[in-house]
């Protein structure tokens, strides 16, 4: 199952070439990651999960199945990026409709996980365009001890439905 995070572009995401700058792509990935993993009391972010051909809408608050890390200031857990790889497949023009970011997990380790992404054109827009593929290795860290901490059983249970095969990047030349 994949989590779909609709993510709006900002005018400032564009560069002099008229497409979304590569640095802003990593910001979009971060924004989707925060909505996916951090539990919050803030209403309003609409997320969709899909499995096969079916889809179900959820808000970030209702998305307790994946958003199990406390995202409030002073949280006991930090989520640190250990590695990130991004493959740019097509330039993203400025779009008024939100991009459709697909997120899933390819690996759950002891204290880390590998999060996979695909950045697609807005849902319902044809032809459907895959703009970017990416992976991020995230390490969970105990905020007080400043050391990696193990993934809890609650987190494993919440994230297990979102495990799918890893991103396949294009062959390197």
pTM of the model: 0.84
pLDDT at residue 65, as a whole number? 62
- Of all residues in the chain, the percent with pLDDT exceeding 70 is 84
Residue 33 has pLDDT above 60, yes or no: yes
- Is the bond preceding residue 127 a cis peptide, omega within 30 degrees? yes
Contacts of 128 (CB under 8 A, 6+ apart): 120, 121
Rounded average pLDDT over 39-44: 58
Question: In this model, does residue 41 exceed pLDDT 80?
Answer: no
Mean pLDDT, the chain, rounded, equals: 85
The neighbour count for residue 63, using CB atoms within 10 Å, is 24
Q: What percent of the chain has pLDDT over 90?
A: 66
Tokens of 147: 């050391």
Query: Residue 11, class by beta-carbon neighbours within 10 Å (0-12 exposed, 13-18 middle, 19+ buried)?
Result: exposed
List the domains of the chain with CATH numbers: 2-162 (3.10.129.10)
Q: What is the mean predicted confidence (pLDDT) over 137-146?
A: 96
pLDDT confidence tier of residue 173, bands split at 50, 70 and 90:
low
Q: Residue 60 above 90 pLDDT?
A: no
């Amino acid at each position: 199952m994949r989590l779909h995070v609709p993510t709006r572009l900002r005018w400032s995401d564009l560069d002099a070439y008229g497409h979304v700058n590569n640095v802003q792509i990593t910001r979009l990935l971060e924004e989707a990651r925060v909505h996916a993993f951090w539990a919050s009391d803030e209403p309003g972010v609409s997320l969709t999960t899909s499995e096969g051909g079916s889809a179900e809408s959820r808000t970030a608050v209702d998305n307790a199945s994946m958003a199990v890390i406390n995202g409030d200031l002073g949280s006991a857990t930090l989520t640190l990026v250990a590695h990130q790889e991004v493959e740019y497949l097509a330039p993203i023009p400025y779009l008024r409709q939100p991009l459709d970011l697909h997120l899933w997990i390819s690996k759950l380790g002891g204290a880390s996980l590998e999060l996979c992404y695909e950045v697609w054109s807005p849902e319902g827009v044809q032809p459907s365009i895959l703009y970017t593929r990416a992976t991020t290795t995230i390490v969970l860290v105990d905020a007080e001890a400043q050391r990696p901490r193990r993934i809890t059983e609650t987190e494993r249970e919440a994230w297990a439905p979102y495990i799918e095969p890893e991103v396949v990047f294009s062959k390197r030349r």
